[in-house]
Structure 1
Amino acid sequence: MPRFLLCALFISAILLTCNTFTNGIEAITTIYVGTSQSIQAAINSVPSNNKDWICISVAAGVYKEKVVIPADKPFIYLKGAGKDKTSVVWSDSSGTIFDMPTFSSIADNIFVQGITFVNGYNYPPKPGMNIKVAVAARISGDQSAFYECGFSGYQDTLLDDKGRHYFKLCTIEGAVDFIFGDGQSIYEKCDISVNIGEVNPAGTGYIVAQARKNKDETSGFVLKECNVYGKGRAFLGRPWYPYSRVIYYASSLSNIIVPEGWQLWTADEPTSDIAVSEEKCTGPGSDKSKRVAWEKTLTQEEVKYFTSISYIDNVGWIGRLPIKI
């Protein structure tokens, strides 16, 4: 649908205008959503197989709904008023990890800014709660970026499912495998907050569970210049599949990190193909003298490859987002 026709389209309770953004895009359609309105209704109004960026601007407030960007709704820029001001909250631990998320982004070419997604089933955490898997967000589309967003939960908070993703200046909170999946992603300058101590002060959690399944997959999680902190104790991660790849680079690791650093999913699983490593990290949790023997040391060439933005973007898709990040 041409942009001028979309701008003229009347949608009940949703205001449409055309605004100019700053990254070489002359005009972008904007749909405004207020606290008495529905984010999902705004998404539903976007034409299928749209090829132009459409901004859905969400006012400050708490939106109690489950939100899905389906595969046929690409080029959506979902913009909140700030991760501390705009939140989407839903409580669900039923069905599979693909059914329960508060927010599911299935389409390619999605950009989200300034929104926190919460699965309230186990959140906020408290002693004695009935702990179940409760996913706050599922990201399954390719070429998707999240800027200044929040993801809050306890067990399995962020399903970084598949595709190339970029998370910058985000806050991700949880206790058990709370960044998990088979995505090919860089987390840059993010806050990684462990909250297992809110339930059990002596508890030990797991931050990352990456699911690379074979040696030909290019997927992996790179936590670059992140700040890892929280309450309780935590492993940096555990391999979900035999070729799991996780790299902590130039990140600050607080004393919540256990000396071993990593733990196997099962005690007897092979370790030869697991690719987990730490490079140039700082803080009291970065001491590697007691790390597991199967942690890898990368070459300088490997460090450069995995920490470069080209690892997730060798075609320039980040430069084509509506704003520069």
Structure 2
Amino acid sequence: MASKSHFLFFLLLSIFCLKSSSWSLLDTERDYSRWVSWNVNNHQKRAMLVAKSTVQTPGADGKLVLDGKLRQAEMNSVRVTVSQDGTGDFKTITEAIYSIPPYNTRRVIIAIKPGVYREKIFIPRTVPFVTFLGDSSEPPTITGNDTASVSGKDGKPLRTYQSATVAVDANYFVAINMKFENCHLNSIAKKVASLTAQKRSNSSLASGFSFKDSTITGSGLIYLGRAWGDYSRVIFSYTFMDKIILPQGWNDWGDQRRDSRVYYGEYKCTGPGANLTGRVAWARVLTDEEARPFIGTYYVEGDTWLISP
């Protein structure tokens, strides 16, 4: 699904597939925490809602449970094309998104022709039911180079929350056959730093970071993650880790009470940095069963909204 520098994006990841060489250790923005938590809703609560309002429709496995709103949007779907050579409806992805009316109720499939799209893309909460569809034989690439320290239009640093190359605040977003470039994680830390800082403030939240098929390299010494929240949750699976990873692997950010609350896991990772000798006792080496929820579509309730275009 991924190469060393490209993620074939199935969903999200707005979030994790950006070029950001500056994960700020002191960045404690509340908006960013809410953004991450929103993207991965509480599974139990969501399951109850789905049970009350679902329909059966053909899917990849012969049966798919769809959210009622999505079913209605699918019945009235529309398709537009983005092509940089001018042969489509739009030349940029941003133009296609701007063409969608606020509070849209139809599924809008944006068919994106091959090419490298250097855009900063934002899909607001008022524009749901958007699907990015690339060519499976030659997936288009979306790339950008903002970091937390880059100045925005107001002259102030963007900070982490606004540095995303692709940010999606809307419900029912899907990306198929797309490459989100520069998800290669490269540390440039001069002092000891942390690759992730996930803020999960209570155990009922289903939020977390899950990295799969990734590569971690760089020049500094880093922790895989630090406990920004009391119940921080981060999982790395099938990830190559260079020697820059500190033996301890994880940091409780000076609060030992978090050692029994956080959920930090590694699963079938490789490379010198994946050597588990010296790992903190409260980190987890996940079993197949423990890893399964984080490496498939279950974690984001894919059965309720992942459908073919």
State whether residues 134 and 140 of structure 2, in contact with CA within 8 Å, keep that contact through their aligned partners in structure 1.
Answer: no
**1:239 & 1:305 partners in 2: Cα distance?**
21
Out of 204, 208, 216, the residue aligned to residue 196 of structure 2 is: 208
- TM-superposed CA distance for 1:267, in Å, is 5.0
Q: Is 2:143 the counterpart of 1:87?
A: yes
Q: TM-score, normalized by length of structure 1? A: 0.56
**SS of residue matched to 1:315:** helix
- Where structure 1 has 5 or more consecutive residues not aligned to the other structure, the ranges are 1-22, 115-146, 153-171, 173-191
**SS of residue matched to 2:96:** helix
State whether residues 141 and 180 of structure 2, in contact with CA within 8 Å, keep that contact through their aligned partners in structure 1.
Answer: no
- Cα distance, 1:58–1:300 mapped onto 2, change above 3 Å: closer
- TM-superposed CA distance for 1:312, in Å, is 2.3
State whether residues 94 and 100 of structure 1, in contact with CA within 8 Å, keep that contact through their aligned partners in structure 2.
Answer: no
- Cα distance, 1:270–1:195 mapped onto 2, change above 3 Å: closer
Q: Deviations over 1:143-192 (max 9, x none)?
A: xxxx4212x5xxxxxxxxxxxxxxxxxxx2xxxxxxxxxxxxxxxxxxx4
Higher strand fraction: Structure 1 or Structure 2? 1
| Count of residues in correspondence between the two structures | 224
**SS of residue matched to 1:311:** helix
Q: Is 2:123 the counterpart of 1:69?
A: yes
Which residue type is aligned with residue 98 of structure 2?
N
What is the aligned partner in structure 1 of residue 179 from structure 2?
A: 148
Which residue type is aligned with residue 69 of structure 1?
I
What is the aligned partner in structure 1 of residue 97 from structure 2?
A: 43
- Cα distance, 1:39–1:251 mapped onto 2, change above 3 Å: closer
User: Alpha carbon RMSD of aligned pairs, Å?
Assistant: 3.6
Q: Is 2:169 the counterpart of 1:106?
A: yes
Q: TM-score, normalized by length of structure 2? A: 0.59
More relative contact order, 1 or 2 (CA 8 Å, 6+ apart): 2
Q: Deviations over 1:25-73 (max 9, x none)?
A: 9985123253895543321212342322321526635646x43212222
What is the aligned partner in structure 1 of residue 112 from structure 2?
A: 57
State whether residues 35 and 61 of structure 1, in contact with CA within 8 Å, keep that contact through their aligned partners in structure 2.
Answer: no
What is the aligned partner in structure 1 of residue 4 from structure 2?
A: none
- Where structure 2 has 5 or more consecutive residues not aligned to the other structure, the ranges are 1-59, 63-73
State whether residues 213 and 244 of structure 1, in contact with CA within 8 Å, keep that contact through their aligned partners in structure 2.
Answer: yes
Which residue type is aligned with residue 143 of structure 2?
S
**SS of residue matched to 1:246:** strand
**1:280 & 1:59 partners in 2: Cα distance?**
33
**2:245 & 2:297 partners in 1: Cα distance?**
27
Higher helix fraction: Structure 1 or Structure 2? 2
Q: Deviations over 1:119-166 (max 9, x none)?
A: xxxxxxxxxxxxxxxxxxxxxxxxxxxx4212x5xxxxxxxxxxxxxx
- Cα distance, 1:194–1:315 mapped onto 2, change above 3 Å: same
Map 1:9-20 onto structure 2 (within 5 A): none
**SS of residue matched to 2:270:** coil
**SS of residue matched to 2:273:** helix
State whether residues 250 and 282 of structure 1, in contact with CA within 8 Å, keep that contact through their aligned partners in structure 2.
Answer: yes
State whether residues 238 and 263 of structure 1, in contact with CA within 8 Å, keep that contact through their aligned partners in structure 2.
Answer: yes
**SS of residue matched to 2:126:** coil
Q: Is 2:79 the counterpart of 1:29?
A: yes
**1:49 & 1:245 partners in 2: Cα distance?**
33
State whether residues 113 and 148 of structure 1, in contact with CA within 8 Å, keep that contact through their aligned partners in structure 2.
Answer: no
Which residue type is aligned with residue 76 of structure 1?
V
**1:95 & 1:253 partners in 2: Cα distance?**
28
What is the aligned partner in structure 2 of residue 283 from structure 1?
A: 271
**1:35 & 1:88 partners in 2: Cα distance?**
20
State whether residues 58 and 78 of structure 1, in contact with CA within 8 Å, keep that contact through their aligned partners in structure 2.
Answer: no
